[in-house]
Amino acid sequence: MRDRDQVLKEILQFAKEKENIRGLVLQGSLVNPDAPIDRFSDLDPMFVVEDAADMAKDDRWIKQFGQPISRCNDTFPVGKAEEFTRLVLYEDGLKVDFGLFPKSAVQEIADLPLYQVILDKDGCIPAPTRTTEEAFYTEKPTEEQFVKRINGFLWDTTYVAKSLWRGEIYFAKFMFDLLHRYMKEVIAWHLGAKSNWENNPGVYGRYFHHQMDPVQWQKVLDTYAGSDVEDNWRALFASCELVRELGQETADQLGYAYPIEHHERILRYLEKVKAMEQ
């Protein structure tokens, strides 16, 4: 895999040489001083372009930085114009997420959570207002939001239970996916409450394993299972226990009421379904 800094120099030189490109902004983990960086960390350069649509239409330029083996294109509205992305995985494993941002909407860049201006030919790119990852901190929930999320988790456990009893493992795994989305929020809130709401859990909880104590992290791992029905029952009850433990601790810290009676009623229902004869 090539050196990222060298590739960034090549991208910067490319931006300097192209008249249509008026600036270059770097986003992503590489501009976050608190983000863990490794060999798989992406480059996230965003060109500020006079005519972004034209550069997106003829994007053979991506091959100047290596041989692509896969790519993904997308378009997003920004102001009265459009921003284009060209996400590219190169043959040597380097991934570069190119952005093509219209200069006509350049003031919108100020809304980005974290960025660094690398090149500004016209002096038009707004200076960053944030230099830390605070935009990614978990937001404290209201009591209504907290209780609604716990109740939603409990409700959806019943679909997993029925599916397991029926032997519908595919649908059970689909519903388990939803349970883990609920759990992600509960875990993030738990970490947020412990850190005075100054914690960045990473997108979809990617930093959880660095931030949780080993015992509780093992309890998170215990909520996963393979294709065996009995193992999925074990994971279901482990999920309920995790949500109750972290949810109760968070509720106590925030002065909220954890819906313990609802939790216990659902737990009895799950145990009853598991014990039913086929």
CA–CA separation, 276 and 278 (whole Å): 6
Determine contact, residues 60/9, Cβ cutoff 8 Å. Answer: no
CA–CA separation, 137 and 201 (whole Å): 7
CA–CA separation, 106 and 173 (whole Å): 44
Determine contact, residues 103/78, Cβ cutoff 8 Å. Answer: no
Per the rule left: phi > 0, alpha: psi between -120 and 50, beta: everything else, 79 is: left
Query: Considering the chain, what is the average pLDDT of its residues?
Result: 95
Give the 3-state secondary structure of residue 68: strand
Give the 3-state secondary structure of residue 87: strand
Determine contact, residues 114/27, Cβ cutoff 8 Å. Answer: yes
- 202-254: pLDDT as tens digits: 999 999 999 999 999 999 999 999 999 999 999 999 999 999 999 999 999 99
Q: What pLDDT is attached to residue 247?
A: 98
Answering whether pTM is above 0.75, one says: yes
Q: What pLDDT is attached to residue 32?
A: 86
- Mark the ranges of the chain whose per-residue pLDDT is less than 70: none
Q: What pLDDT is attached to residue 129?
A: 87
All domains of the chain, ordered by start, with CATH? Answer: 4-135 (3.30.460.10), 137-275 (1.20.120.330)
Determine contact, residues 12/118, Cβ cutoff 8 Å. Answer: yes
Question: Which stretches within the chain are classed as H helix?
Answer: 4-17, 52-57, 143-166, 169-194, 208-211, 214-221, 229-254, 260-275
Give the CA count within 13 Å in the CB-facing half-sphere of 214: 0
For tokens 């990617």, name the residue: 206
Determine contact, residues 24/118, Cβ cutoff 8 Å. Answer: yes
Determine contact, residues 129/141, Cβ cutoff 8 Å. Answer: no
**C-alpha 98: how far from its chain's center?**
18
Distances (CA, A) of 119 to 17, 22, 48, 73, 84: 12, 8, 9, 24, 19
